[in-house]
Amino acid sequence: MLTSKVKATNADPRGDAGERNEFLSPIYGSRELTEAIPRYEFPDHEVQPRVVARLIEDELNLDGNQALNLATFVTTWMEPEADALMIKTFGKNFVDADEYPQTAEIADRCVNMLADLFHAPDASTAVGTATVGSSEAIHLAGLALKWQWRKKNPDYRGRTPNIVMGANVQVCWEKFARYFDVEPRYVPMTKDRFILGVDEAIDLVDQDTIAVVGILGSTYTGEYEPIAELSSALDELERRTGLDVPIHVDAASGGFVAPFVQPDLRWDFLLERVHSINTSGHKYGLVYPGVGWVLWRDQSLLPEELIFHVNYLGGDHPTFNLNFSRGSSQIVAQYYNFLRLGRDGYTKILTSLHATARWISQELEALGRFELLSTADSLPVVCLRLVGESSFDVFDLSAALRERGWIVPAYTLAPNASDLSVLRIVVREGLGADLAASLVSDIRIAMENLDQGHRPLEPAPARSEAVIPKVAKERTPTASTKSRNVC
């Protein structure tokens, strides 16, 4: 027995002997791992599946730990039953509705359920679609608003449509404006207002404003923008001037928070001026990355010209998406969560996340060195800045926490408040009470070490915009180190 093992180890794993005894040959001694595998050129040769899987897995160990990633709003854990369903549906292209009619039906049911959750006046005339995330959803909603504006203004040629929003918008709104030729009009932040100011927004509105955006859960601080107040102010503007300007609500995070923990908040289709809403299924919808939703309060708000009918997959299939092919598994997983959790389940989870966020906030505030910028009645997010004299800043603290594996980003706030640097902890499913207690204790220890002159191994994150890697031979700054890239 012993000899045959030795033989197998020494054998060329690609040869006959190797194939027969493949399971005995240790990966790390195999030929594949002693020969160079090209990193940037297209490889000439095949490599055994087991070996290549090991190689990639090893390399991915250098990534951060998903469970300790408190930078992201995006889901990093789902139930094993959902994992299994997703694996089974990896191979289904969602756009093949004729071949996979039941998957299409499931997506439609999700839209119906969301229309119900967001108080659409008539769930049978509300429309919506699954998207890859809120970014795609926002591009679609923005296009519908632009087309609506054109319809209302037949003499639109030569005029530039504009959209009014806080300077705290997520980067996808800047993309929408640039990609689709809409002038972005930003309401500036101030030293103590980090979300949209209603009066300031109204001042920017004119006859070419396609919409005012209200964010349910600012990416920067987690605060909700005052959407009901904005709606009343636009009503008043209409009475005064006749301008009838709709609201789009960017509820990327809050769409799956407010309905469950702040059910009395008026922000959704209950406000007549809210024409469309986007939300990210992969944030507090609790699905792995790759799903978002956009909904319109009724069909008349979605211009027919934007809907394409294709027949080359069989049948007539209307689509309104930027992508054609996409995976089905995230949509199936969203449906799983809706059926599995229902209102009660989501409420339990979100209530517990809020309790954790409040607890972390109180503990950190009690250290006497932080000021809280987040509020407990919005997203379960803890956003803090250092106050008083310190020999270090939040970027150093973020780097020091990274030594323990915690990923807690530091960044500057939006323009005009950009001299304020903050630390943000997004409380998601997976950050339980035990882990939260370790986090607070590690923050305290990290601050003590920094006070004593300890400097983290990792340089403080780059504070400038990173560029898209060209031919990536060197390490380029990662998304999480970019001040503007909060997601």
Ligand X SMILES: *Cc1c(COP(=O)(O)O)cnc(C)c1O
Write out the residues near ligand X by the rule CB under 6 A. 73, 133-135, 170, 172, 215, 217, 219, 250, 252-253, 280, 292, 487
CB of 225 to ligand X, least distance (A): 10
Handedness of CA 402, 404, 405, 410 (dihedral sign): negative
CB of 431 to ligand X, least distance (A): 18
CB of 169 to ligand X, least distance (A): 7
329-365 helix and 80-89 helix, angle to the nearest 10 degrees: 140
Residue sitting closest to ligand X (CB): 133
Q: Select 215 or 233, whichever has its Cβ closest to ligand X.
A: 215
**If we measure between CA atoms, which residue out of 319, 273, 296 comes closest to residue 127?**
296
Q: Select 73 or 392, whichever has its Cβ closest to ligand X.
A: 73
Q: Select 13 or 217, whichever has its Cβ closest to ligand X.
A: 217
- Which amino acid is present at 360? I
CB of 195 to ligand X, least distance (A): 11
Whole-number Å distance between alpha carbons of 166 and 195: 6
Whole-number Å distance between alpha carbons of 97 and 103: 7
Rounded to a whole number of angstroms, the distance between the first and last alpha carbons of the chain is 55
The secondary structure of residue 407, as a DSSP letter, is: B
CB of 484 to ligand X, least distance (A): 13
CB of 487 to ligand X, least distance (A): 5
Whole-number Å distance between alpha carbons of 370 and 374: 12
Q: Select 11 or 70, whichever has its Cβ closest to ligand X.
A: 70
Who contacts 470 (Cβ-Cβ below 8 Å, separation ≥6)?
Answer: none
Distances (CA, A) of 103 to 22, 316, 330: 40, 16, 11
Q: Select 170 or 334, whichever has its Cβ closest to ligand X.
A: 170
**If we measure between CA atoms, which residue out of 145, 141, 140 comes closest to residue 156?**
145
CB of 73 to ligand X, least distance (A): 6
Whole-number Å distance between alpha carbons of 416 and 345: 40
CB of 256 to ligand X, least distance (A): 12
Whole-number Å distance between alpha carbons of 326 and 133: 12
Per the CB < 8 A criterion, the answer to whether 205 and 231 are in contact is: no
Q: Select 86 or 386, whichever has its Cβ closest to ligand X.
A: 86
Per the CB < 8 A criterion, the answer to whether 37 and 46 are in contact is: no
Q: Select 386 or 410, whichever has its Cβ closest to ligand X.
A: 410
110's enclosing H/E stretch is helix 101-117
Q: Select 165 or 439, whichever has its Cβ closest to ligand X.
A: 165
